[in-house]
Chains A and B, each alone.
Chain A
Amino acid sequence: FNVLAIENEHIRATFNPKTGLLMEIENLDKKLLLPVQQAFFSYFASRGDRLSDQVSGAYIFRPNQSQPLPVRRWAQIRVVKTDLVQEVHQNFSAWCSQVVRLYPGQQHLELEWTVGPIPVIDSWGKEVISRFDTPLKTNERFYTDSNGREILERRRNYRPTWNLNQTEEVAGNYYPVNSRIYITDGQVQLTVLTDRSQGGSSVRDGSLELMVHRRLVNDDRRGIGEPLMESGSGALVRGRHLVLLDTFQAAASGHRLLAEKVVLAPQVVLAPGGGVPYNLG
């Protein structure tokens, strides 16, 4: 392929044909084009260091370095295009894959990720993130919500009510994300809706990350008394991130309406058919 893209009447998502990674998102209605590279990375869990013997555990997120390692720098891909759906299947490794999906009429890009069981055979706990890198000048700021009710501005290495001495470059900037996180430069906004509560941050300007899965080999000595380690071969987790690209002015109405559809999603019930008439009498 020279260009690998999926598109409908509202959105076009372009992929790097060499790496298979998402490269660009375009809002065709508003003629907005944003280079967005998305991939999976993992933070290796701290086992304690000279500054503190605190290890990363169920309660404590403490990576041992500030730069996460990519799960893989490229993805093996497969493209499915039909009248009703366009999908790019990305396989990063035996335990990490994703489907980037677009339905007709849809104004958001759907990323369905599948992560796990996280390998810990090297005795390192790992915390896996999905990261979106853009050239947006976000001025150290990003936004997370509290159950969709109140969106709070988060500023890197800063607390509004006291002078912060930041000692944890990554974990100190992580915040709860209940349903959405976004970054903006005042003109363009990139919003990611989650289907469950996750941790999220913007560790660098223009970057946005969400922790999708974690598996740890040590107890953090905060009272649980066991490491965050699933029994057996480990848990395999599947979830979805819905990505919206819009102008800063119009973004809120888009993500609020979409979030309603996610939270109050239709329920599907099947039946073999041929039932008998029923009434209360």
Chain B
Amino acid sequence: SGDSAPLNEAMAVLQHHDAVTGTCKQHVADDYARQLAAGWEPCEVLLSNALARLSGSKEDFTFCRDLNISRCQLSQTSSSFQVTIYNPLGRKVDWMVRLPVSKGVFLVRDPQGRTVDNNVVILPSTDRQMDHSELLFSASVPALGFSTYSVTKMTNGKLQTRAPRRRPKKSS
């Protein structure tokens, strides 16, 4: 079961001035990080439950915590996946989604099943072993709601695998 109380508590602890300013001892900083990480985990379950209820579909949701450093196991290894974007703002937003992927050509569809323009950008890296391609597409998300986009990798202009079973899914 999901629970937001541990993250609430961790956030409350982190109101202390040495957490806000970073003036704590290193072992205290490590403990703050531990409390935040432990608090986030049951929140992911809570969010998964909420999304399942709102979308009417129970999925194996993945929260990519390392997106800021272009790392996400699911998007980098799967040939098809779904991207759900939740907008906590009280107005519609258009948002550029950036996801690390392996090199290739992708087909992106919006919640209405229409094809969405996308680009794969190859990023410079000092580590030549790592693949640093990122998939970009613009997502439109309603106020205080979410949109689900589907991404499928293509080979030689054809879908590499069957697209995930499509269910009528609109922005909610």
Question: What is the 8 Å Cβ interface bit string for chain B, positions 78-100, against chain A (1 contact, 0 not)?
Answer: 10111111111100011111010
Residues of A close to B78: CB separation below 8 A? 272
Q: Are B119 and A278 in contact (CB under 8 A)?
A: no
Closest to A58 in B: B23
A to B CB contacts below 8 Å, 8 in the list: A84-B137, A261-B89, A264-B87, A270-B62, A270-B63, A272-B62, A276-B57, A279-B56
Give per-residue flags for A251-281: 1 if the beta carbon is below 8 A from chain B beta carbons, else 0: 0000000001100111111111111111110
Chain B contacts with A in 41-64, Cβ cutoff 8 A: 47-48, 51-53, 55-64
Known: A58-B22, A58-B23, A59-B23. A273 touches B165 (CB 8 A): yes
The distance in angstroms between the C-alpha atoms of A197 and B150, with both chains bound, is 35
* Interface 1/0 per residue, B133-157 and A, CB below 8 Å: 0001111010000000010000000
A163 within 8 Å of B (CB atoms):
no
Total residue contacts A-B, CB cutoff 8 A? 140
Q: Collect the chain B residues with CB atoms within 8 Å of residue A89's CB.
A: 123-124
CA–CA, A138 to B147, complex, Å? Answer: 44
Q: How far is the CA of A265 from the CA of B85 in the complex (A)?
A: 10
Considering the complex, which residues of chain B in the window 105-122 have a beta carbon less than 8 Å from any beta carbon of chain A? Answer: 117-119, 121
A272 and B59 contacting across the interface, CB-CB below 8 Å: yes
Chain B contact surface mostly: mixed
A91, A231, A271: the one within 8 Å of B61 (CB): A271
- Asked if A82 is at the interface (CB within 8 A of a chain B CB), the reply is yes
- Asked if B74 is at the interface (CB within 8 A of a chain A CB), the reply is yes
Contacts of A270 in B (CB 8 A): 61-64, 72, 74-75, 81-84, 99
Interchain CA distance A226-B121 in the complex, whole Å: 43
- For B72, the chain A residues whose CB sits under 8 A away are 270
Q: How far is the CA of A264 from the CA of B92 in the complex (A)?
A: 12
Interface size, chain B (Cβ < 8 Å): 60
A277 CA to B150 CA, complexed, in Å: 17
Nearest Cβ on chain B to A1's Cβ, whole angstroms: 17
Is the CB–CB distance between B22 and A85 below 8 Å? no
Chain A residues near B130: list those with CB within 8 A: none
Known A-B contacts A260-B89, A270-B74, A271-B62; A224 and B95 likewise in contact (beta carbons under 8 Å): no
Q: Using Cβ atoms and an 8 Å threshold, which residues of chain A touch B84?
A: 268-271
Q: Does B16 contact A (CB under 8 A)?
A: no
Smallest CB separation, A260 vs chain B (Å)? 6
Q: Contact: B119 with A275, CB < 8 Å?
A: no
Using A58-B23, A277-B56, A277-B57 as known contacts, say yes or no to A272 and B74 having CB atoms under 8 A apart. yes
Contact between chains at B26 and A226 (CB < 8 Å):
yes
**A105 at interface, CB cutoff 8 A:** yes
Say yes or no: B117 contacts A278, CB within 8 Å: no
Q: Taking CB as reference atom, which chain B residue is nearest A257? A: B91
